[in-house]
Amino acid sequence: MSEYDIQRIDAAEARPLRRALLRPAQPLAAVDYAADHDPASLHLGAFKDGVLVGVASTHPQPMPGSHRDTGVWRIRDVAVEHGHRGRGVGAWLLERCIAHASTQQGSVVWCTARVGAYGFFVRMGFARSGPPIEDPEEGPQYTLYADVPPLERSWKIS
């Protein structure tokens, strides 16, 4: 994994890759989320030779259908360029998001995933919450969640 470098980035830097990999038919504004402007949010970029090839974001947000409203972090738009998939970049980005939630006293992380990414989150230890929600544009959206492991509570991302 040393060939890749993970750094904190601004949401604006993440948006072009978000759009290209997740919503290519939509304008850039479609991936400008209100939560991007939450000062607690974290946006990460994976770089290869100085080029951004992966992104992931996380911010506090209660999970739909759960009564818990504190310590709950949403992980959003984990996306890796096609030529860089299958090398552990997505896993690393996801783990760093979970680690950040942990440093902020997060106890649960959750996300929504399309069919194509569902297996990734399951492989990463996430469990499904309820039936999928049908999105007219993107198809079934699965909600998945995972406990934040206590082991990672000592991690710190500057």
Ligand X SMILES: CC(C)(COP(=O)(O)OP(=O)(O)OC[C@H]1O[C@@H](n2cnc3c(N)ncnc32)[C@H](O)[C@@H]1OP(=O)(O)O)[C@@H](O)C(=O)NCCC(=O)NCCS
Binding site for ligand X (CB under 6 A): 21-22, 77-80, 85-91, 111, 113-114, 116-117, 119-120, 123
Residue 112 Cβ vs ligand X, minimum distance, rounded to whole Å: 7
How many DSSP H helices and E strands does the chain contain? Answer: 3, 8
HEC letters along 47-96: EECCEEEEEEEEEECCCCCCCCCCCEEEEEEEEECHHHCCCCHHHHHHHH
Of residues 87 and 153, the one with the C-beta less far from ligand X? 87
Residue 152 Cβ vs ligand X, minimum distance, rounded to whole Å: 17
Residue 143 Cβ vs ligand X, minimum distance, rounded to whole Å: 11
Of residues 105 and 116, the one with the C-beta less far from ligand X? 116
Q: Token pair for residue 28?
A: 């850039």
